[in-house]
A and B are shown apart, each in its own frame.
Chain A
Amino acid sequence: MSFKFIKFTGLIFVFFACRDPKVIPNISSQRIPIEKSIKPKPSIENLIKPYKLHIEKSMNEVLCYSINAHSKKEGSLNTAIGNMMADAVFELSAPLLKKRYGLDLDVVLLNHGGIRASLPKGPIRIETAYNIMPFENEVVVSQMKGSVVMDLVNYLRTAKRAHPISGMTLKITKSGELGLLKIQNKPLNLEKTYNIATSDYLHNGGDRMNFFKKNDSVFRLDYKIRNILIDYFGSQDTLKPKADMRFTYTKKR
Chain B
Amino acid sequence: MNRRKFIKQTAASSALLSLGSLTTACSKKTATKITVLHTNDVHSHIDPFRPDSGKNANKGGVARRATLIQKLRDENPHTLLFDAGDIFQGTPYFNYFGGELEFKLMSMLDYDAATIGNHDFDNGIDGLYAQLPHAKFDFISANYDFSNTVLEADVKPYKIFKKGGVKIGVFGLGIELEGLVNAKAFKETKYLNPVELAQDMSRTLKEKENCDLIICLSHLGYSYKNPQKISDLTLASATENIDLIIGGHTHTFLEKPTAVSNSAGKTVLVNQVGCYGLYLGKVDFYMGSDVTYSNAQLLPVV
Q: Mark A219-236, 1 if CB is under 8 A from B, else 0.
A: 010000000000000000
Given the contacts A29-B282, A44-B108, A13 and B58 also touching, CB distance less than 8 Å:
no
A54 touching B96, Cβ below 8 Å: yes
**How many chain A residues have a CB neighbour from B under 8 Å?**
53
CB contact between A47 and one of B108, B182, B257 (< 8 Å): that residue = B108
Query: Chain A contacts of B256 at CB under 8 A?
Result: 13, 15, 29, 31
For A20-43 the 0/1 string (1 means CB < 8 A from B) is 101111111111111110111111
A193 CB within 8 Å of chain B: no
CB-CB < 8 A to B243: which residues of A?
Answer: 24
B46 interface hit (Cβ, 8 Å): yes
Report chain B residues within 8 Å CB of A14. 22, 298-301
Shortest beta-carbon distance, B249 to chain A, in Å?
16
CB of A69 closer than 8 Å to a CB of B: no
Given A22-B267, A40-B64, is A1 in contact with B75 using a C-beta cutoff of 8 Å? yes
Interface assignment of B169: CB less than 8 Å from any CB of chain A: no
Query: If A29-B256, A55-B96 touch, does A41 touch B282 (CB 8 Å cutoff)?
Result: no
Residue from the set B23, B259, B273, B278 with the largest chain A CB neighbour count within 10 Å: B259
CB distance from A115 to the nearest CB of B (A): 18
Task: Write the chain A residue with the least CB distance to B284.
Answer: A28
Cβ contacts under 8 Å, A1 to chain B: 22-23, 26, 75-76
Closest to A127 in B: B92
Contact B101 A25 (CB under 8 A): no
A136 CB–B CB distance under 8 Å: yes
Q: Does B255 lie within 8 Å of A31, measured CB to CB?
A: yes
Complex contacts, B157 vs chain A, CB 8 Å: none
Partner of A48, one of B101, B283, B298: B101
A58 at the interface (CB under 8 A from B): yes
What separation, in Å, do the CA atoms of A14 and B26 have in the docked complex? 13
Q: How far is the CA of A59 from the CA of B93 in the complex (A)?
A: 11
CB of B302 closer than 8 Å to a CB of A: yes
**Chain A residue contacts of B109, Cβ below 8 A:** 44
> Cβ of B47 < 8 Å from any Cβ of A?
yes
> In the complex, what residues of B have CB within 8 A of residue A52's CB?
47
Question: Could you give, for residues 71-99 of chain B, a 1 whenever the CB lies within 8 Å of some chain A CB and a 0 otherwise?
Answer: 10001100000000000011011011100
A35 — which chain B residues lie within 8 A by C-beta?
58-59, 64
In the complex the two chains form, what is the Cα distance from A41 to B60 in whole Å?
Answer: 13
Contact residues of B between 254 and 302, Cβ < 8 Å to A: 254-257, 259, 261, 267, 269, 271, 273, 277-288, 293, 296-302
- Cβ B59 vs Cβ A31 within 8 A: no
Say yes or no: is B62 at the interface (Cβ < 8 Å to chain A): yes
- Does A20 lie within 8 Å of B285, measured CB to CB? no
Please report which residues of chain B, range 237-258, place their CB below 8 angstroms from some CB of chain A when the two chains form the complex: 243, 254-257
| A41 vs chain B, min Cβ distance (A) | 4
Is B6 interfacial (CB-CB < 8 Å)?
yes
* Contact A51–B108 (Cβ < 8 Å): no
Contact indicator A13/B7 (Cβ below 8 Å): no
Is the CB of A245 closer than 8 A to any CB of chain B?
no
Contacts known (A47-B105, A48-B62, A52-B47); A13 close to B255, Cβ less than 8 A? yes
Name the one of A6, A55, A127 contacting B93, with C-beta atoms under 8 angstroms. A55
Which of B11, B254, B271, B301 has the largest count of A CB atoms less than 10 A from its CB?
Answer: B301
Q: CB-CB < 8 A to B267: which residues of A?
A: 22-24
> Could you name 20 residue pairs across A and B whose Cβ atoms are closer than 8 Å?
A3-B22, A14-B301, A15-B298, A16-B10, A16-B296, A16-B298, A22-B261, A24-B267, A26-B6, A27-B284, A31-B255, A31-B282, A32-B279, A34-B68, A35-B58, A38-B64, A41-B67, A44-B66, A55-B92, A134-B90
